[in-house]
């Protein structure tokens, strides 16, 4: 099997657990503090690796590419929007609406990179809109209270998806000249630096060992998911990668469904209706139709 499939599948697996882990972390830390810690752990881990094995790559910090700085800012907004949206909704809901990211990335390919849109992709976009409409309205009907919070959460998640597109486009251009993991020194480091004034450091003192382990997992998840994604592009066509990582919400749905049966106290159970589930799968189907292309894209070397 192509190595790229393994790397892309690993990214999808990590992202499938991510929304749930983020929701749990919000029990004891605000969104900004969690986001700062994620970026910090990812940056420190990558920095130490290069410090030991390839010091020359650290030089990029002294003169960072402008596109890397732009990608870092966009990814920072993506992280903040996604976790803030999760805080107001739930892991499964966030995974549905964040799919606007891959869809808008496909649209950017048509607009920015002058790629031709096939009839199937146009149909896919329409299916996504239909699925989001079904899911959104069904959740509103189901919610007895907190309607304003739900609407704000959905808006923040979708803004996070839009920011991810900015990151992806900037990074796609930058990796043509620079090593992907080397760029991540900037992409992880800049948000960690900019978020320092907004971090509630005093709340870290009350964390238990389990809380710290969860935060470390979130940081390593950031490094592992984006590192694996970079290597996936080296071995596999971009369109195939997009399809694989789009399936990560299915992992979230399955885990949340299992946790709901266990009635755990550390995360609120989700009760998606049949119509909600239908809307979610409609969104995923539309995303796959949108990102899937007939022509093969040359892998990034």
Q: Which two tokens stand for residue 29?
A: 């830390």
Listed residue (185, 159, 213, 218) closest to 34, CA to CA: 218
Average pLDDT of every residue of the chain: 87
Q: What is the pLDDT of residues 240-271, one digit of tens each?
A: 677 788 788 888 988 998 988 888 888 888 87
Instruction: Compute the average pLDDT of residues 128-155.
Output: 81
Model confidence pLDDT, tens digit, residues 68-121: 999 999 999 999 999 999 999 999 999 999 988 877 777 776 777 666 767 887
Q: What share of the chain is helix, strand, coil (3-state, %, to 5)?
A: 80, 0, 20
**In this structure, what token pair is assigned to residue 13?**
């697996």
| Closest to 178 (Cα-Cα) out of 292, 68, 21, 25 | 68
Closest Cα to residue 172, out of 68, 99, 245, 66?
68
In the numeric block, the tokens 């069904």 are attached to 138
pLDDT of 143-163, one tens digit each? Answer: 655 688 888 999 999 999 999
pLDDT score of 21 more than 80 = yes
* Spatial distance between the Cα atoms of 124 and 288, rounded to a whole number of angstroms: 7
**pLDDT above 50: residue 299:** no
- Which one has a higher pLDDT value, 113 or 131? 131
Give the integer Cα–Cα distance in Å for 166 and 172. Answer: 10
């Amino acid at each position: 099997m192509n190595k790229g499939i393994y790397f892309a599948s690993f990214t999808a697996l990590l992202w499938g657990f991510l929304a749930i882990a983020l929701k749990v972390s919000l029990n004891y830390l605000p969104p900004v503090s969690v986001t700062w810690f994620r970026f910090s752990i990812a940056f420190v881990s990558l920095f130490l690796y290069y410090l030991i094995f390839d010091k020359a790559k650290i030089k990029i910090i002294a003169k960072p590419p402008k596109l890397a700085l732009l990608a870092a800012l966009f990814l920072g907004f993506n992280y903040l929007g996604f976790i803030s949206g999760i805080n107001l909704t739930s892991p499964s809901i966030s995974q549905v609406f964040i799919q606007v990211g891959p869809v808008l990335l496909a649209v950017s390919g048509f607009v920015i990179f002058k790629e031709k849109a096939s009839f199937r992709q146009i149909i896919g976009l329409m299916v996504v809109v239909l699925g989001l409409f079904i899911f959104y309205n069904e959740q509103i009907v189901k919610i007895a209270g907190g309607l304003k919070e739900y609407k704000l959460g959905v808006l923040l998640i979708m803004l996070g998806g839009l920011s991810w597109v900015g990151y992806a486009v900037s990074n796609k251009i930058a990796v043509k000249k620079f090593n992907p993991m080397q760029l991540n020194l900037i992409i992880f480091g800049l948000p960690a630096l900019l978020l320092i004034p907004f971090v509630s450091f005093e709340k870290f003192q009350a964390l238990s060992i389990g809380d710290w382990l969860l935060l470390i997992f979130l940081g390593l998840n950031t490094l592992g998911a984006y590192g694996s994604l970079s290597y996936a592009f080296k071995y596999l066509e971009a369109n195939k990668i997009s399809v694989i990582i789009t399936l990560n919400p299915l992992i979230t749905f399955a885990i949340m469904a299992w946790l709901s049966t266990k009635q755990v106290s550390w995360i609120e159970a989700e009760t998606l209706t049949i119509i909600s589930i239908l809307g979610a799968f409609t969104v995923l189907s539309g995303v796959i139709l949108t990102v899937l292309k007939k022509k093969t894209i040359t892998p990034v070397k």
